[in-house]
Structure 1
Amino acid sequence: MKKTSLIQKLEVSKKEFHEISQLVTQPYIISDKKQYKTLLKKYTKLEKITSLYEEYNKKLSFVKEINSILENDSDIEMKEFVTIERHKTLESLSFLEKELYNLLFFSKEEESIKEDHRNSAILELRSGTGGDEACLFVEDMLRMYTMYFKKSGWKYQIIHAQKGGIKGYKEIILDINGEKGVYGNLKFESGVHRVQRIPKTESQGRVHTSAITVAVFPKVKDIEVNINLSDIKKDTFRSSGSGGQHVNKTESAVRLTHIPSKITVECQEERSQHKNFEKAISVLRSRIYQHEKEKRLKKISMKRKSLVSTGDRSVKIRTYNYPKNRITDHRIHKSTYDLVGFMNGNIQGMIDLLKSFEKK
């Protein structure tokens, strides 16, 4: 990592430390036990970083003084003495740089481990290329995932659904909850899933290729992502899904747009506008968290394992070939030949292989 990037990150941490130092003394923060505990944890970590950074700056200043002496002083003994001191100080600086780097970035590894243990996640399925066939595949994938959830003992709830033209779904969003590891397992599903099969509407028996996108976000708490309500544009509209006489009579469906990031979320599954708003804000919070995480990852030099679990939805990750009864995961170049079993929710074996590859 370049030294300038490290310094920039340290300056940001220093500023954050001083901001949190002010916050933890505020009565309204102290009275909120959860928020106070979270901030206090950040304060402790940032205090150590800031302290080491101050020591680092002192040594940098000392090196500058030594360099000035070496350039301008004619005393040979003095030059010999400061040369030795310069060598010692540079060694100390190198040690401090490594320690600061570990505190700043290895903690991200720990954060990733904690993130994997989250017991809830948001799963989004969207049709891509292929028209009606892609919508049908979204429905098939929904069935696959819900069967996997049942096998895993997880519960799920539909937050938003948009039906396809003839059958299937253009888009569906689920809220999944279970034991620890929900996100750690599902994160590998993010990306483009391609299907090769003969559509029911195909009269000449030709194999078509369609695609859908899957996105998985860790479900985050409000103390992890603070959303300013003034940054949100709220629109209401009439539900288009199931709901009997209620549909099209009241504007209970909610659309939220986060103005700074331009992220948009819709929710129309509840009859209450208030409940739809709560669910939409939960999804929005998760998307903003993922958006910021992806921005951060782009700035950091990533290891090879990031190819497995960055959650990049533009990358083709898996192909489901029905004529050959084959599922191929392109990230690990692994194929299995039990498509029926896989589509019945037996996907843990593939996820375990991806986990193993990530740890290499």
Structure 2
Amino acid sequence: MIDRLQALADRYEKLSELLCDPDVASDPKRLRDYSKEQSDLEEAYSAYTEYKSVSSQLEDAKLMQGEKLDDEMREMVKLEIEELSARHAELEEKIRVLMLPKDPNDDKNVIVEIRGAAGGDEAALFAYDLYRMYTKYADSQGWRVELMEASESDLGGFKEVIFMINGKGAYSKMKYESGAHRVQRIPVTESGGRIHTSTSTVAVMPEVEEVEVEILDKDIRIDTFCSSGAGGQSVNTTKSAVRVLHVPTGIMATCQDGKSQNDNKTKALQVLRARIYDVRRQEEEAKYAGERKSKVGTGDRSERIRTYNYPQSRVTDHRIGLTLHKLDAVMNGDMDEIVNSLTIASQAEMLEQENLA
């Protein structure tokens, strides 16, 4: 690992030189690529730099401990060794996590799909609540949310809603949300005060570039139709809504919330590309399912991942056994504790697998 860290440090320092080169400064693409690469290495470089410094100080302190010292100085050296040893261990663990293989999608924007599942109108209302939770969480992270497609229920919920979250690291924090979310509460339509259980499904997919998933014109069928729902005078009068079918896979995407047919086509192709990529990714993961049992799940939307219990103000993530008694805060976008716990669980699992390898 030390060799890998030294190679990383050498590359970071080389990038610093390149970024000072006038030829690079005058080339926007190289400047952008080198800046991003250095930014990606920065945390590991800083940790390794501190690790080397602490290691050197610890070695010096241990040498000093072998010298003839008075009682006061010996006690000071002992305390210093204890503090440096603790920091040394912390940095070792941090570096091990930083050197884990990176998910190439972590920095990408995400496309999120939420659908009301079991529970009818109540499931649709819960789908709206999840949409609101994610948009508020996105706001807290400084991300931008763009609605792509929505199908409303009679009571104001969402039968289905598709939206994009634009922001650095969006996928790294949102990727564990895929799965079935269960709500337990008294529905607004329930006159007898009984608690009902409903579910909504969430799928989180990284935004995919055209070069990552090539969609050939001959492989798609595009249909246009009149939009439905809110949208102004053009609704039901112009064929601005777009449905795109990828014939080889049978995967389809529809968009009607854009300002024009061209806008809707662009968004529908974005969703289609992400869905095709997601299917391929899950097929690849299925090949290794017997070897790798993930605590935080595979992203299968049929897997029950979390329960939101309103009477007890409780949120439970079943994958890692995390229970929080602050439902209102979570539904208002305070998801940091859940996201961080899932990330730590995933990293611990990867470290365990690395140790077994």
Distance 1:281 1:114 in 2: 21
Match of 1:273 in 2: 261
How many angstroms apart in 1 are the aligned matches of 2:289 and 2:110? 26
Residue identity in the other structure for 2:105: E
1:113 partner SS = coil
| Correspondences of 1:69-218 after superposition (within 5 Å) | 110=101, 113-118=103-108, 120-179=109-168, 181-218=169-206
Distance 1:305 1:151 in 2: 32
SS in 2 for 1:114: coil
Partner residue in 2 for 1:287: 275
Offset of 1:348 from its aligned partner?
1.4
Q: Equivalents in 1 of 2:294, 2:220: separation in Å?
A: 32
* In 1, Cα distance between equivalents of 2:330 and 2:310: 11
Q: How far did 1:128 drift?
A: 0.3
Question: Share of identical aligned residues, percent?
Answer: 48
The question of 1:313 aligning with 2:301 is answered yes
Are the equivalent residues in 2 in contact too, given 1:309–1:358 (CA < 8 A)?
Answer: no
What residue is the counterpart of 2:311 in the other structure? 323
Gaps of 5+ in 1: 1-32, 38-108
Range with greater deviation from structure 2 (326-335 or 256-265): 256-265
SS in 1 for 2:222: strand
TM superposition score normalised by structure 1: 0.67
For 2:193, the aligned partner's letter is G
- Checking the alignment, whether the CA contact within 8 Å between 1:305 and 1:357 is kept in structure 2 is no
Counterpart residue type for residue 286 of structure 1: A
1:301/1:202 Cα in 2 relative to 1: closer, same or farther (>3 Å)? closer
Residue 260 in 1 paired to residue 251 in 2?
Answer: no
Alpha-carbon distance between aligned partners in 2 of 1:288 and 1:128, rounded to the nearest angstrom:
22
Q: For 1:337, which of 322, 325, 335 is the aligned residue?
A: 325
AA in 1 matched with 2:162: I
- How far, CA to CA, are the matches of 2:225 and 2:336 in structure 1? 39
How many residues in Structure 1 have an aligned counterpart in Structure 2? 252
Tell me, yes or no, if the aligned pair for 1:161 and 1:241 is still in contact at 8 Å: no
Which of 236, 254, 263 is matched with 2:224 structurally?
236
Deviation at 1:304, TM superposition (A): 4.8
Q: How many angstroms does 1:258 deviate by?
A: 1.1
Give the alignment's TM-score, normalised by structure 2: 0.68
Residue aligning to 1:223: 211
- Measure how far apart 1:290 and its partner are: 0.9
Alpha-carbon distance between aligned partners in 2 of 1:256 and 1:148, rounded to the nearest angstrom:
31
CA contact (8 A) 1:263 1:287 kept: yes
8 Å contact kept, 2:243–2:252: yes
- The two structures, once aligned, show a CA RMSD in angstroms of 1.8
Residues in 1 aligned to 2:295 and 2:285: alpha-carbon distance in whole angstroms: 12
User: What do residues 170-208 of structure 1 show as CA deviations (whole Å, max 9, x unaligned)?
Assistant: 0110111112x1001101100000000000111110000
Q: Distance in 1 between matches of 2:306 and 2:289?
A: 25
TM superposition shift of 1:277: 0.3
8 Å Cα contact 1:253-1:273 kept in structure 2: yes
In structure 1, how many angstroms separate the alpha carbons of the residues matched to 2:214 and 2:252?
17
In structure 2, what is the Cα distance between the partners aligned to 1:247 and 1:148?
Answer: 32
Q: Conserved in 2, the CA contact under 8 Å of 1:305 and 1:358? A: no
Counterpart code for 1:287:
R
1:353 counterpart = 2:346: no
Contact 1:241 1:269 (C-alpha < 8 Å) held by counterparts: no
Q: Note closer, same or farther for the CA distance 1:301–1:135 as it changes in structure 2 (3 Å cut).
A: closer
**Aligned partners of 2:297 and 2:319 also within 8 Å:** no
